[in-house]
Structure 1
Amino acid sequence: MITRETLLQLDATDPLAARREAFVLPANTIYLDGNSLGAMPRAAAERVRHTLDHDWSQALVRSWNAPPSGAGWVDLPQRVGAKIGRLIGARDGETLACDSTSVNLFKLLSLALKLRPDRRLILSDRDNFPTDLYMAQGLSALLGGEHQLRAVAPDEVEAAIDERVAVVSLSHVNYRNGALYDMAAITRRAHEAGALMLWDLAHSAGALPIALADCDVDLAVGCGYKYFNGGPGAPAYLYVAQRLQPQATSPLTGWFGHEKPFEFIPAYAPAAGIDRMQVGTPAILSMSALDAALDIWDGVDLQQLRAKSIRQCETFVALVEQWMPGVFEVTSPLDSARRGSQVCLRHEQAWPIMQALIGRGVIGDVRAPDILRFGFTPLYVSYADVWDAANTLREIMQHGEWTQPRFQARAKVT
């Protein structure tokens, strides 16, 4: 029997509990949507204020250069990329913070097709995050329709990898149900068929240990605003394995990807290494916020993070099944080894139920048409939060709160 007292004891001995103080969390709120937008780190707000009040307003354009006269803005993509690289198992010089996840997908898909000129297929799964599919569709159309996106069911991916596939493009964790792919196994299968492997880490990086280099991954992308807590619209990042960098070319040849951007040479010449994947001027305010947010990870044991995530997800599922048997269908894998850091429940009235929860201070989100999604962010979600969230859901279902008219109206963002 799970009791709140037992969970409070877990909080008292939790090695990650002190990290919660690094975040600004609204009173009387349980935040279970960090897999959509992470909570605000105190350090990120302080860094942005410093960037505004000192680096921009006082140092002005000098801030592009290195200290002591400047703030080193020009090197932020590399510095932030290096911090992310250490959290996803990349080698030095393989990760760069830049652009958005969608733009980075376009760049890396294009790169992959150029490296496999005799192949015409981009393979993905039909449950992939829509922007991953959209960018592949758009790239195919741009190339005159000679290339094709093939999207299959998740359990058909490995069998569909053959000699026609140029690149396999998958999300490490499924955004709708939290299902976790075996990165090593899928990457190995892609390489056996001569294809390149591109992983979208948006729903896994910062939630569980990742070993890109050890898994021999070719390419990867991810965002900065979910588990990395970089703020709304935070810069994304990309990863290109060292062995591919000498041949890597970006379809977007902007001036920050030039070998000598401030010599203003009319003809494009790519920079060395990962720097050639840059495009335009980095967004300094948001990049600075992400840079500060990533410092929270100093000293965090990712194995402890994963263990806490698993226990929180298992506890939530157990409470839902204990208190509300037959009310919800748990669509996330029950095997923790196959699940990311989220639990998804299916109910035909998902929208009003979630609005009723939010009205009570328990914030998750909805994925159309009928999925309630709860993200567990171990750096700031406590074990007691898990109990209280499940208990609030029980009360809402028992009393039919979700049937109230005020919870029926649909918002633009879900």
Structure 2
Amino acid sequence: MTAPSAPADPLERYLDEFVPGDDLVAYLDGNSLGRPLLATAETVPAFVRESWGARLIRGWDEGWLARAEELGNRIGAVCLGAGSGQTVVADSTTVLIFKLLRAAIDARPGRDELVIMRDEFPTDRFIVERLADDHDLTIRWIDAPADAGATPELVQEHLSARTIAALVSGVSYRSGWWADMAAVTAVVQAAGGLMIWDCSHAVGSVPLELDEWGVDMAVGCSYKYLNGGPGAPAWAYVAARHHGQLRNPIPGWLGAREPFAMATEYSPAPGIRRLVSGTPPIVGMLPLADMLSLIERAGIGAIRAKSVALTSYAIALVDDLIPDARLASPRDPMRRGGHITVDHPHARRAVEQLWGEGVIPDFRHPSGVRVGLSPLSTSFAEVERGVRALASALV
């Protein structure tokens, strides 16, 4: 079989900064779990020896307590287009989505509808369903084509004077659809609702401008394109204009105004810190900090340019080598994030076979093979090896 020629890779010099896999032929799952950096293999043991081991509890007074906000500011500046004081690292994506949605319900009294995609990531749907059940709310479900996602027009159809908030993925976990986030935000806010974006598949992959777009709140994990490792802490963004009204539904001691006063009553901290509940995961932040340094060096613009080239190359290979497959992702690169999904009736069997051969894509029920291409750690040669292996496995 012939194949399209691979484009030049302007970010090739960064490939060797990641820990190599022992048996990898092609890692096509960086949008699910990013590869660790070689720098992190040094950072973590050094922290154990020099910070945790040597300083022990004194570390809290020597910088640890401020780490959640400091790292949040870095994520905001490097990846989110967010000014300082609006992003914090804390909890898991699931917990933060709950916090933001529950806070939104309190912030919109008299309204009783939540808006979400029917094909949204399960966690997001499950939380919306539980909150709707607990607070007697109505869910307005948005349906979109399998190869697309939320559009301003689709969202608009489900909005009303009863809308509390819309929770939508910036980049769809299944199709890779990158929503017009500015336009969707505008239509939700025009209806008086709050816009909450799940940026788990967007952060570090596409350029975000949350401040410029007027986004109310956003949340995302840090173990995909931010390479924070399995179970790495998530982050949340809340626009500064909402800080005074934000009511944390899980108040904890480190979100209090004076944590060490051990007060009998809760008084929230000023600013984004009021969203914090418990003790920040200091060790879990170390790999994330290393990856942010790499993203700073490479630049999100260059990362996005390579992402477009990688996904375009993968699509061209699929078209050429797997003609009986269906692309379940946008062909328009302006609407495509960092991964694509290929639908084929033999998808499940093929992925099981490929994992045994050192080729690692994702299977997505019922018939999708998701090919995730992390620009800083994925080469064009790896994409070709992976798609060729997929073509053989799908026969």
Indicate the TM-score class for this superposition, using the shorter chain for normalisation.
over 0.9
Matched, 1:76 2:67: yes
Deviates more, 1:100-109 or 1:302-311: 302-311
Q: 1:34 aligns with which of 30, 34, 51?
A: 30
Partner residue, 1:118: 110
**Aligned to 1:269, what secondary structure does the other structure show?**
coil
Aligned residue type for 2:322: M
**Aligned to 2:166, what secondary structure does the other structure show?**
strand
Post-superposition offset of 1:48:
1.4
Post-superposition offset of 1:305:
1.4
Consecutive unaligned residues of structure 1, counting only runs of 5 or more, are 67-71, 401-414
**Aligned to 2:131, what secondary structure does the other structure show?**
helix
Partner residue, 1:163: 161
Residues 293-315 of structure 1: per-residue CA shift (max 9 Å, x gap): 32211222222211211111111
Partner residue, 2:16: 21
Matched, 1:266 2:264: yes
The 3 A distance-change label for structure 1 pair 359 and 188 is: same
Aligned residue type for 2:264: P
Aligned residue type for 1:92: S
The 3 A distance-change label for structure 1 pair 2 and 306 is: farther
Matched, 1:359 2:351: no
Equivalent residues of 1:137, 1:148 under 8 A apart: no
Distance 2:247 2:290 in 1: 30
Distance 1:62 1:148 in 2: 49
Aligned residues: 385
Aligned residue type for 2:143: A
Matched, 1:292 2:290: yes
Partner residue, 2:382: 385
Distance 1:214 1:158 in 2: 21
Residues 248-283 of structure 1: per-residue CA shift (max 9 Å, x gap): 111111001000001111110000000000000112
Deviates more, 1:89-98 or 1:22-31: 22-31
Post-superposition offset of 1:3:
5.3
Q: 1:338 aligns with which of 335, 339, 342?
A: 335
**Aligned to 1:124, what secondary structure does the other structure show?**
strand
Equivalent residues of 1:44, 1:230 under 8 A apart: no
Residues 74-108 of structure 1: per-residue CA shift (max 9 Å, x gap): 11111111111111111111100000111101111
Equivalent residues of 2:222, 2:235 under 8 A apart: yes
Partner residue, 2:80: 88
Distance 1:148 1:130 in 2: 18
Residues 217-269 of structure 1: per-residue CA shift (max 9 Å, x gap): 00000001111000000000000001111111111110010000011111100
Post-superposition offset of 1:386:
1.6
**Aligned to 2:211, what secondary structure does the other structure show?**
coil
Partner residue, 2:147: none
Partner residue, 2:46: 50
Q: 1:97 aligns with which of 80, 83, 89?
A: 89
Partner residue, 2:393: 396
Equivalent residues of 2:197, 2:218 under 8 A apart: yes
**Aligned to 1:161, what secondary structure does the other structure show?**
coil
Partner residue, 1:184: 182
Aligned residue type for 1:102: T
Aligned residue type for 1:335: D
Consecutive unaligned residues of structure 2, counting only runs of 5 or more, are 145-149
Post-superposition offset of 1:180:
1.5
**Aligned to 2:298, what secondary structure does the other structure show?**
coil
CA RMSD after TM alignment:
1.6
Partner residue, 1:148: 138
The 3 A distance-change label for structure 1 pair 76 and 330 is: same
Equivalent residues of 2:116, 2:168 under 8 A apart: yes
Aligned residue type for 2:326: E
Q: How does 1:302-341 map to 2 (within 5 A)?
A: 302-326=300-324, 328-341=325-338
Post-superposition offset of 1:382:
1.1
**Aligned to 2:385, what secondary structure does the other structure show?**
helix
Distance 2:167 2:321 in 1: 39
Partner residue, 2:100: 108
Distance 1:320 1:3 in 2: 9
Distance 1:347 1:141 in 2: 36
If the length of structure 1 is used for normalisation, what is the TM-score? Answer: 0.89
**Aligned to 2:243, what secondary structure does the other structure show?**
helix
Post-superposition offset of 1:128:
0.8
**Aligned to 2:157, what secondary structure does the other structure show?**
helix
Residues 96-143 of structure 1: per-residue CA shift (max 9 Å, x gap): 000011110111111111111121111111011111111112223333
Distance 2:67 2:290 in 1: 11
Equivalent residues of 2:36, 2:229 under 8 A apart: yes
Matched, 1:136 2:128: yes
Equivalent residues of 1:22, 1:296 under 8 A apart: no
**Aligned to 1:313, what secondary structure does the other structure show?**
helix
Distance 2:8 2:94 in 1: 39
Distance 1:83 1:150 in 2: 35
Residues 351-377 of structure 1: per-residue CA shift (max 9 Å, x gap): 110122222222111111211100011
Deviates more, 1:274-283 or 1:353-362: 353-362
**Aligned to 1:247, what secondary structure does the other structure show?**
coil
Distance 2:106 2:210 in 1: 22
Deviates more, 1:210-219 or 1:314-323: 314-323
